[in-house]
Amino acid sequence: MRIATGYAQKVALDGITDRQAALIKSQEQLSSGKRVNRPSDDPAAAAEAEKVRSRQARMDAEKRAVGYAQQQLSNADSTIGDATSLLQNARETLLRGANATNNTSDRFTIGANLSAIRDQLLAVANRSDGTGGFVFGGQGANSAPIAADGTTYNAQPGTVQVGQELSSPVSLDGRANFTASPTGAGTESIFAQLDAAIAVFKDPAATAASAAAIAQSTLGSVDRSIDRLGVTRATVGERLNAIETHLKDIENGTIDNASRMSALTDVDFAAAISKMAQNQTTVEAALKSYSTISKMSLFNFL
């Protein structure tokens, strides 16, 4: 069987091209640190790697959402603490007001103190969440959710929830906590109750007995508000604990994904270096072989 010189040269050139391609691939793997730089390098590994990337993208989105909830709930916890402190101050002031020996001047001073506490409490109840909303903004409010009268709630009651795997609130219901707190006989606004007490204490015509009576009844409202905020704060605390656990799970999942991605796509440097050296040797051998073949001609044997 005769093999034409031109055909032999073509075969040699094809071999050189294939070996050079293998060498370039080895060099690319060492340069990038990746065994799979394109789907054609390993279709099965590339497909699974894409699934890992998608899973990590979902985890990253969940981490951002839950992290945002953590930030908002931490702010809410602090706000609840401030509101509770103010209500404790109101309670102490009312206890002083329940003393039937207070004179008109004493009662007016107590009323003024209650008025200042009431205004501070309203400011806390309308505190911004730092992202354009309000801590007690319910399902969303474009302006302060609790009106100046303390009885009107200018937002949709409820909460805004974020997160897919772990749904968490990023706002609190101001209506249930301030303007329409549940009682055994219905609902009440703590601001309305404080306003009623302030009006009596500042009224020079009010008697010591009437002031003491309103102080006692308002104390009940304050205590119920403190209890209500305590329940809300406990719920916030439970959710913060759940978020912390969830974030740890996400972090562990991220580590697992990184490990799996590395196993699928990262290069084995020792093997890649050995492979590159082997490819380089074969390319050099092929080039020498081609050099010899290219010089061959029938005229050399005539």
Its domain, for residue 274, covers 268-302
Helix (H) or strand (E) holding 221: helix 208-265
Average pLDDT, the chain: 85
Q: Establish if 42 belongs to a structural domain.
A: no
Both 175 and 281 in one domain: the answer is: no
Question: Phi, psi (5° rounding) for residue 266?
Answer: -75, 150
Both 171 and 222 in one domain: the answer is: yes
Q: What is the pLDDT of residue 298?
A: 46
Both 186 and 279 in one domain: the answer is: no
Which pLDDT tens digit goes with each residue over 115-164?
999 999 999 999 999 999 999 999 988 899 999 999 999 999 999 999 88
Domain count, the chain: 2
Both 225 and 82 in one domain: the answer is: yes
Both 112 and 237 in one domain: the answer is: yes
Both 190 and 66 in one domain: the answer is: yes
Both 251 and 272 in one domain: the answer is: no
Q: What is the pLDDT of residue 301?
A: 46
Both 113 and 137 in one domain: the answer is: yes
Both 127 and 276 in one domain: the answer is: no
Q: Establish if 14 belongs to a structural domain.
A: no
Which pLDDT tens digit goes with each residue over 184-201?
788 999 999 999 999 999
**Contact 135/129 with Cβ under 8 angstroms?**
yes
Partnered with residue 134 across adjacent β-strands are 128
Taking the model in full, what pTM does it have?
A: 0.76
Both 194 and 219 in one domain: the answer is: yes
**Contact 142/124 with Cβ under 8 angstroms?**
no
Both 115 and 247 in one domain: the answer is: yes
CATH code, domain carrying 227: 1.20.1330.10
